[in-house]
Amino acid sequence: MRQGRHIEALLANILPGLAGSVTLPTAVEANVRWSMHQVLETPEGKAGSARGVRLVDAIYELETGRVRFLT
């Protein structure tokens, strides 16, 4: 089943960032932080940082329509 392998690959990338998460909001925040970490570790992320590109991590809250920036 091709989709199963793709889902497993996605989970393999997400699970390290969820260590210790208990609630859905905590898990979402941990996933955003982990994703940001992964982006910054890519050659493109490192090159952008070296050029002064600043990435920010944020969560779009579906219930309120607001964006919550993480620090």
Tokens of 66: 């607001």
What is the count of structural domains for the chain? 1
Residue-level pLDDT at 56: 94
Sorting pLDDT into bands at 50, 70 and 90, what band is 16?
A: confident
Sign of CA dihedral 49, 51, 53, 54: positive
| Structural domain boundaries enclosing 50 | 2-69
Q: What would the mean pLDDT of 22-43 be, rounded to a whole number?
A: 88
At residue 4, does pLDDT exceed 70?
A: no
Average pLDDT of the chain is: 85
Residue-level pLDDT at 7: 73
Sorting pLDDT into bands at 50, 70 and 90, what band is 10?
A: confident
Sign of CA dihedral 43, 21, 67, 8: positive
